[in-house]
Structure 1
Amino acid sequence: MSTALSDHRKGLLLTAIGGLALSMDIPLVRLGDGDIWSILGVRSAATVLATLIILGAMRLASGRWPVLVPGRPGLLAGLLYGLSSLTFVLAVFNTTTANVVFIVAFNPMFGALLSWTFLKEKPQPSTLIAMLFMIVGVGLIVSEGLSSGHFFGDAMAILSALILAAAITIGRASRREMGFVPLLAAILPAALGLAQALPSGLSVAYPGWILLNGAIVMPVAFWCLATGPRYLSAPEVGMFYLLETVLAPIWVWLIFAETPATMTLLGGGILVAAIAGHCFWMVRRRSVRPLAE
């Protein structure tokens, strides 16, 4: 019992660190103050370099390489992770921070739909109810984007959430180790960003923020959030992804004085309430079931 409690606390600590680190992604991108291709290339290249250093250290410590890309499912998931990085950065540069994080929070619902369609995992009624509320929330945010000229950025955020959900669904279907796939997949946006930026020269006013983000913050976030499910249920891990949704707009508001629009706040509030309510319901249901049995 004490071991299970210790593992649960370890999972809570890991996922809390991962969620907090992830919430700093957009503020650090904004602090870098550069053009989109330079930011994409430097941020992604730093992630790849940090991952290779970590892999080399693991090789020296254990005498063998960990699982990197598990076959065709790993290659396909890696391609999708790379594309999601591209669409995410496009969203950051073409709409407000609040719009990006609130819309990308729709990712779990896309995952439920894809699992239902391709894996025949029918969502529970509570999931379907939460999805309806989330559709309303995203609709309010996108309507604000239409009126303020941010439609392209909002569309990229929706596409990023869909692509990321597809990558996660492939990993779930394959049942293989995918821990390093998202990090190594940064090779794709790194190559694209540098190919576009280098001919005219990199344009990043404060590269230190981008290097910090790519080399430390993102690897820590992805590793912690990928390791958390070893100790916690999926709904519990999902709650810590909400930290980015809640905190990223706050960091941007404090640093850049960017106040979200009224409709964005309303739609985002509906999204957060729907996701949080669904996660708490699933956690409670899982904790009550063993007692009943």
Structure 2
Amino acid sequence: MSYHNDHQKGLLITAIGGLTLTIDIPLIRLADGGAWTILLLRTGTTLVAALIIWAVWRSLSRNAPQLIPGWSGLVVALCYGLTSVTFVTSIYHTTTANLVFILAFNTVFAALLSWLFLKERPRLVTVMAMLAMIVGVAIIVGDSVGTGHLFGDLMALCSAFFIALAITISRASGKDMGFTSLIGVILPLAVAVFMVSGEGFQVNAPWWIIFNGAVIMPISFFCLANGPKYISGPEVAMFYLLETMLAPVWMWMIFAETPSRNSLIGGAILIVTLVAHSLWQLHEGRKRRASLAVRHPA
């Protein structure tokens, strides 16, 4: 009964995080400002919110996680910081559909990094999924050649890589990195402050990005980071796909931003591959748990 309740709790928490994250990009666009000003406000409010949440948690409990747990935490924070820079840059240089579809490629990078550094050899099904996703991303990026979106697509690929690297290091360390992704915004915040001091403050609707950084980012990352405590990795990954599927819909409804045919084709390949692979992982996980239950009956 306890497992059932924990599983339901995990599904609810992760669903909240995944759904909340889907409005990140629309809020950035609604703020209507320069890239560096948006980065400044987004990271600044996220940092303040994270520190307040951590301070309250620490005052109520001695079990509050460290903000940056050791050298591995420092590297993870650096990865998330670089992700913030490349992510916001990509928003201004490619379409939302291209960005969220390419970000889904982080699962391929994660599998490759785990293979190289954690010696976790991927199974044949995973290798086939990786090849299909490479084809999907190639279609999206190839469609951007000559359209002015290529740089934004490459920045999206960098974001996917840095996220995968952060996940790999976190798994290798075995430490609680719950607040590390939020504290990692210190790096892009410093860069944004320097750039804004030179070019000036440029934003027409700052309340949107302040709301994004102070509320949306802490809720989404906190919930998604806590999901794995209660549910399996593949189940968490399914909720990350909500942004891939819904963010382009919100952009179409608000800004009439329509993805290109090749972007939709490549995105469809990525989404179908990820969903199929995640369902296969869930099936394999249930089989392993059932096998262990038979060997060690309660």
Contact 2:37 2:196 in 1 (8 A): yes
Rounded to whole Å, the distance in 2 between the matches of 1:207 and 1:128 is 44
In the other structure, the counterpart of 1:190 is: 189
SS across alignment from 1:87: helix
Query: Paired residue for 1:166?
Result: 165
Alignment-mate amino acid for residue 284 of structure 1: H
Letter in 2 for 1:248: A
1:258 counterpart residue number: 257
Q: Give the distance between the partners of 2:127 and 2:211, measured in 1 at CA.
A: 39
Q: CA deviation at 1:147?
A: 3.5
Preserved contact between residue 102 and residue 268 of structure 1 (Cα < 8 Å): yes
| 1:199-225 residue CA offsets vs partner (Å, 9 max, x unmatched) | 343111100100111011011010000
TM-score by length of 2: 0.96
In 1, Cα distance between equivalents of 2:15 and 2:194: 36
| 1:42–1:194 contact (8 Å) kept in structure 2 | no
Distance 2:180 2:289 in 1: 34
Q: Which position in structure 2 is the counterpart of 1:221?
A: 220
Q: CA deviation at 1:65?
A: 5.1
Matched ranges for 1:129-208 at <5 A: 129-208=128-207
Does the aligned pair in 2 maintain the 1:23–1:244 contact within 8 Å? yes
- Between Structure 1 and Structure 2, how many residues are aligned? 292
Secondary structure of the residue that 1:144 maps to in structure 2? helix
Query: Corresponding residue for 2:89?
Result: 90
Deviation at 1:125, TM superposition (A): 1.3
The whole-number CA distance in structure 2 between the counterparts of 1:166 and 1:207 is 32
Counterpart amino acid of residue 80 in structure 2? Y
Using the TM superposition, give the Cα deviation of residue 188 of structure 1 relative to its aligned residue in structure 2, in angstroms: 1.0
**Would you say the 8 A contact 2:65–2:176 is kept in 1?**
no
CA distance, structure 1, for counterparts of residue 224 and residue 18 of structure 2 = 7
Q: Deviations over 1:26-74 (max 9, x none)?
A: 1110001000000001100000000111111112212575311111101
Partner of 1:36: 35
- Give identity over the alignment, percent: 52
CA distance in 1, matches of 2:6, 2:61: 23
| Contact 2:65–2:178 under 8 Å retained in 1 | no
Equivalents in 2 of 1:232, 1:112: separation in Å? 20
Task: Assess if the C-alpha contact under 8 Å between 2:17 and 2:221 holds in 1.
Answer: yes
Shift of 1:138: 0.2
Structure 1: unaligned runs, 5 residues or longer? none
Task: State the alpha-carbon separation in 1 of the partners of residues 121 and 38 from structure 2.
Answer: 40
Aligned partner of 2:279 in structure 1 is 280
CA contact (8 A) 2:81 2:187 kept: yes
Deviations 1:143-198 (A, max 9, x none): 11114221100000001101110111111111111111000011111111121113
Write the distance in 1 (CA, Å) between the matches of 2:62 and 2:114.
37
Which residue matches 2:15?
A: 16
Counterpart of 1:54 in structure 2 is: 53
Q: What amino acid sits opposite 2:85 in the alignment?
A: L
1:97-120 Cα offsets, whole Å, 9 max, x none, are 000000000001100000000110
Amino acid at match of 2:118: L
User: TM-score when scaled to structure 1?
Assistant: 0.97
